[in-house]
Structure 1
């Protein structure tokens, strides 16, 4: 039950954070009402650095969240540590419960009185050990998955930061005079200006 709650909470948290921080508002309220923000100057973009994604991924592999700091996405650092912390917490909790039932099982086999005497049968003690062992393994996998997602996020974010998102797109009519046949060819071209 705890693992299902953990997974649902994690999914809700990631979905909420993605929706909240996914898009910045491009409209500004000014004296004349609601207007669009001016487009950034193409000179504001940093030159392309092919090693930036690899650096960001390496930094996140060394210390989770360091790649996000390298990219300037400081708000993602608490999300990474919260995910890792939750996974470690559930591992420790399941490990304690596993040890508790394991000790009771050993005590019962040795003929000593355990804390579950008269309440839980020997077969149920074995089932409880298997349940908590499986939950420990799942906690390890979830923690490793969040660690890997942290590295992938830093790499992808570094790639996307270098992508020119200028809204300076234009359609221009194009007329081409063919000197061989004497005919004019008409067309429409999409021009991307960098």
Structure 2
């Protein structure tokens, strides 16, 4: 009985162990790695000298600070404003010289200037020539101020744009509208919420 029990025990427990050693299963494992480009924009390092550098470039050559800031569309505006100021300055300077030369010739006793007319009676009086000179001088001054203003605006714009280029706008600081329903009278309450997260 003991030997039968021993055979049954070996048949039930030992036979499956011997059967598994001769039949093995090999599993080949393939791993594929997918690399996805990170959609988060890399944060530029803060450069405290960037605004000063952009302003210096614009002071040396107008528009160069805008090139440094990669705001190319502003360059034609700067040059158009400065060119308009210089053009009108030159035009008013020529007008001033015309009126001034005619007035000087009249003071010298000549009656052959372009504003005198047929030679008997002047078309434009001496007082009008003086007023025209003053008006042309005022226009020259305004044109010069406009030219200088565009030049200074170019320098200031490059400086401010370089500051703002490094300004961080993230979800850590947000201003959003807030709508709540009042549970007592069931009316909507409106407001603004300012969120700031400390890291």
Q: TM-score range by the shorter chain?
A: 0.5 to 0.7
Mapping of residues 15-30 of structure 1, within 5 Å: none
TM-score scaled to structure 1, two decimals? 0.66
Q: Note if contact 1:169-1:193 (Cα within 8 Å) is conserved in structure 2.
A: no
Query: Which residue number in structure 2 is paired with residue 153 of structure 1?
Result: 157
Does residue 116 (structure 1) correspond to residue 115 (structure 2)? The answer is yes
Which among 74, 80, 83 is matched to residue 72 of structure 2? 74
Report the Cα offset of residue 150 of structure 1: 0.6
Report the Cα offset of residue 142 of structure 1: 1.1
Largest Rg, 1 or 2: 2
Q: Note if contact 1:101-1:125 (Cα within 8 Å) is conserved in structure 2.
A: yes
Gaps of 5+ in 2: 1-37, 117-121, 176-192
Query: Which residue number in structure 2 is paired with residue 164 of structure 1?
Result: 168
SS of the aligned residue for 2:195 comes to: strand
Q: In structure 1, how many angstroms separate the alpha carbons of the residues matched to 2:71 and 2:166?
A: 14
Partner deviation per Cα, 1:78-104 (whole Å, 9 max, x = no partner): 000001000001100000000010011
Report the Cα offset of residue 138 of structure 1: 1.0
TM-score scaled to structure 2, two decimals? 0.64
Q: Note if contact 1:169-1:191 (Cα within 8 Å) is conserved in structure 2.
A: yes
Partner deviation per Cα, 1:39-70 (whole Å, 9 max, x = no partner): x9554221100000000000000010000000
Q: Number of residue pairs matched?
A: 139
Report the Cα offset of residue 169 of structure 1: 4.8
Gaps of 5+ in 1: 1-39, 172-187
Report the Cα offset of residue 167 of structure 1: 4.1
